[in-house]
Amino acid sequence: EPLTVGFNARYLIEVLSAHAEGEVIELGVTDEVGPGVVTGSGDPEYTYVVMPMRL
């Protein structure tokens, strides 16, 4: 089922800039109001949680 989720771009840019270029980044979400969990392939222990914004 499709989801519509909004995140603050500043926080997503911060997450992406912490990873190496070409690294695989995964953003996991469960629903429109739950947190997004960002993980990268370079460091499996690195986890970043970003809260969605109300659209």
Query: pLDDT tens across 3-55, in order?
Result: 899 999 999 999 888 887 888 999 999 999 999 999 988 887 889 999 999 88
H or E stretch at 9: helix 9-17
Q: Report the C-alpha gap between 9 and 23 in whole angstroms.
A: 19
| Interstrand relation of 47-50 and 36-40 (parallel, antiparallel or unpaired) | antiparallel
Q: pTM of this prediction?
A: 0.78
CA within 13 Å, CB half, 29: 17
Q: What are the residues whose beta carbons fall under 8 Å from the beta carbon of 35, sequence distance 6 or more?
A: 29, 49, 50, 51, 52
